Each structure stands twice: as structure tokens, then as C-alpha cells.
Amino acid sequence: ASDLRQVISAIKLSPNIERVADEATNIAECARKLNRHPPLAEVNSIVPIQSHANSMFKDSIDAFVREDVELARAVVSRDKQLDDMNASANRQLTERMMQDRDHLRGYLNLILISRCLERVGDHATNIAEDAVYAAAAEDIKHQT
């Protein structure tokens, strides 16, 4: 049974990794658009979100490969924080859009990047949930 769980989980891993790659492509496109204009100081508001999302993704892959249930659970527990970081950045950037209409497109691209990073975290969470299932035969999806 554990071999079958591992095979099923590995099959489910691939689409999540592919979707993370799609988000990376979207981020690169937004960054390319941002680079056409003078830099916005608000770019710095995205850095903690990027760091958190990347850490979640790396840890989810590590948890899957090493069958580390505790690390996988830790990744799942960090998703809410990333959601909150994204929501906060979106509020701040939306306010800036209303105050500084000259840089509207730049702020919109930062919002899109933040949303893509939040989705990376969602895919990392999916991978971590599958890691728990593969290693411990426990389905933790949709638990809050």
C-alpha cells in the first residue's frame, strides 16, 4: 500500500511543479514590464513574499523527497501567513495606485507578482499535503 501511495503522490507532484513553473514565467513577464520604467520603491514590499514562497516551495520538495512529515506539516501551516502577506501587499499597492496614477501599470504588475507568489505557496502546500499522504497515509487536504 505504501508503494501505491508513493506512486499516486509522485504522479500528483508533476502538475504542481509545472504550475509553479508557469507562475515563474508570469512573474518574469511582469518583471520585464516593470523594468521598462523607473524603479518603484514598493518593489521592496514583494521581497518578503518572494522569500516566503520560495522557502515553502523548497521545503515542500525536501519534505516529499525525504518523506519528512513534520517539515511537510510546517509548510502547510505557513500558507496562511503567505496569504496574509499577499493580502496586505495588495491593499498597500492598491492605495498607491489611487495616490500615484502615473505608475498605475507598475503597481498592477507588483500586485500580479504578489498573486503569482501566493499561488506558488498554494502549490507548495499541495506538494506538502501529498508528502504527508505518501509518507504517513494521512490525507490532510482541506483541514484548517
Domain limits, the chain: 2-136
CATH 3.30.750.24 holds for 2-136: no
* 142: three-class secondary structure by DSSP: coil
Using CA atoms, how far residue 27 sits from 37, 75, 109, 129, in Å, is 16, 22, 9, 25
Kindly report the average pLDDT of the chain as a whole number. 95
* Segments in 1-144 forming alpha helices (H): 2-34, 47-66, 69-99, 104-136
Reported as a single tens digit per residue, the pLDDT across 92-137 is 999 999 999 999 999 999 999 999 999 999 999 999 999 999 998 8
pTM, 2 dp: 0.92
